[in-house]
């Protein structure tokens, strides 16, 4: 597997003002204009998190049915975090028959779900570090460099 930085989607380059046609496929399909819809099999908790992440992505002007599966994965992981947190609410540790103190298995499950959740949020530009990648675009400069010399 090749290393290196993940490629930004063309939409982010357009928003940032760094889009170059020679670096993007001309026939790449644009994201769908359709609104994402929570799957019917989602319960209330999953639907709540699905709607929440779609709303946050919509604030950036990027919500799309194209990212449906990412929104679904985020909702599933958020519910997993809540479930694991509820399990370890009393104590994150237990004592074995030998008297050894061990971390509850739900601690590792919650940690893995949080790690994956952070990665999914970064993919959509919903973390502080990745938010700067979406940005508001470059500031436009005047074509006349002497305009402000008045």
Q: Over the stretch 100-150, which tens digit does the pLDDT of each residue have?
A: 999 999 999 999 999 999 999 988 888 877 766 654 433 445 566 666 665
How much is the pTM? 0.71
For the chain, the structural domain boundaries read 32-132
pLDDT for the residue 61: 84
Transcribe the chain into DSSP letters: ---SPPPPPHHHHHHHT---GGGS-TTPPPPP-SPP---TT--HHHHHHHHHHHHHHHHTT---GGGHHHHHHHHHHHHHHHHHHHHTSS-SEEE-TTS-EEE-HHHHHHHHHHHHHHHHHHHTT-SHHHHHHH-S-PPP--S-TTTT--
How do residues 17-63 score in pLDDT, each as one tens digit?
Answer: 888 878 777 776 778 889 999 999 999 999 999 999 999 989 888 89
């Amino acid at each position: 597997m090749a290393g290196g930085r993940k490629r930004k989607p063309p939409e982010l380059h357009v928003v940032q003002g760094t889009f170059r046609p020679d670096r993007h496929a001309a026939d790449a399909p644009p994201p769908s204009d359709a609104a994402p819809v929570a799957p019917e099999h989602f319960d209330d908790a999953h639907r709540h998190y699905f709607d929440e992440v779609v709303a946050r992505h919509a604030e950036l002007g990027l919500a799309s049915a194209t990212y449906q599966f990412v929104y679904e994965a985020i909702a599933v992981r958020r519910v997993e975090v809540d479930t694991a947190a509820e399990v370890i609410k009393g104590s994150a540790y237990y004592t074995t028959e030998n008297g050894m103190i061990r971390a509850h298995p739900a601690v590792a499950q919650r940690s893995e779900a949080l790690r994956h959740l952070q990665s999914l949020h970064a993919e959509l530009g919903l973390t502080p570090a990745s938010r700067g990648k979406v940005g508001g675009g470059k500031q436009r400069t005047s074509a006349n460099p002497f305009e402000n010399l008045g």
